[in-house]
Amino acid sequence: MLSVRTSQKPRLSESAHSGILDERILVLVFGSLRWDIHDLCRAASVNRRMRALAKRVLWRELCAHHAPRMVSALTAGSGNTRLVGGWHALAKLLFFCGGCKPSRHFKLQPSSRPGHFVRSSRFSKTSGRSFLAKGCREDVLYVSDPCEHAAAGDDLVGIYRGIFGGFMKSRTRDCLIRRRVEFEAGVRCPYCGARVWSMTAAGMIPRRNAARRLGSSGESVEYFVCLNGHLHGTCWLMPLSSDEEEEEEEEDEFDLDEYNNGGVPTHNHNHSASNNGGVGVNTRNIALIKV
């Protein structure tokens, strides 16, 4: 006789809870949390399935939420779904200062600065042009303001980061390959782990322009670019006089807090500018990201 256990509920396979339905729910959940990167980091560490889902969908959504115009510029022509190096690397770059270690071109005491999350970040395509060598100025490059770290005495170390758009087809990459610049030994990208080129060794740093943007002396600027187009660098910062601050180019400010308030502008631009050195930002070329 065939017996039927009516009290036993059918077990659903893991695949029954996977797919677009779960992804949509999670997008709604994290959207209600304003795409907080700390929450997403915790969720992605739960198990392999959540880690894979975050890598496939959630990191991209986080980046698009906090920096929509930057993401649009970086993915132009690629359908806004794929990014060289991965979306998780871009998310880390947006919200994490990678720290620094001394290199053969940049001496540092004490020997290193640890990485850390940042409360706010400002990335500018206008600033990025100041880091591009002559002949490569048509490349798309976003660069952050330097993150200040105390050094010996009253010295300040500036740690900055950035990313190229369409790096595989960029003139910068083509120039590095044509010059047969070797990868820097012992240095890896803090965002994707790829090998890097030293732009100092390549002789491709426009020192005067880059130093002016960073508020540094020209001889103390160094940065690396990895195979995936991520940039990270260091410099010695100099205190700016009031006259130098007045000479900075005035630009309109674009505050991504607007996107964290349901698309309603906060109109709190003066406060945001004061937290970022008092310098406004171009609405087409800037992403101001806060957590």
Q: Kindly tell me if the per-residue pLDDT of 58 is higher than 70.
A: yes
Give the per-residue pLDDT at 217: 74
Task: Please confirm whether the linkage preceding 110 is cis (ω < 30° from 0).
Answer: yes
Mean per-residue pLDDT of the chain = 78
The single-letter DSSP state of residue 261 is G
Tell me the pTM: 0.76
- State residue 116's pLDDT score: 92
Q: Which of 63-67, 143-147, 285-289 has the lowest mean pLDDT?
A: 285-289
What CA–CA distance (Å, rounded) separates 72 from 78? 10
pLDDT single digits (tens) 171-225: 999 999 999 999 999 999 999 999 999 999 999 999 999 999 999 876 789 999 9
pLDDT at 169: 93
Report pLDDT for 277.
33
How confident is the model over 105-163, as pLDDT tens digits? 887 766 778 889 998 889 999 999 999 999 999 999 999 999 998 877 677 889 999 99
Give me the mean pLDDT over the 256-275 stretch. Answer: 36
Share of the chain above pLDDT 90, in %: 52
Span 84-103, average pLDDT: 92
Answer whether residue 283 shows pLDDT above 60. no
pLDDT at 211: 92
Listed in order, strand segments (DSSP E) in the chain are 96-97, 116-117, 120-124, 140-144, 147-150, 156-165, 183-188, 195-198, 222-226, 230-237, 286-290
* Span 78-97, average pLDDT: 87
Q: What is the DSSP string of 161-219?
A: EEEEESGGG-HHHHHHHHTTPPEEEEEE-TTT--EEEETTTTT---HHHHHHHHTB-GG
The per-residue pLDDT for 106 is 84
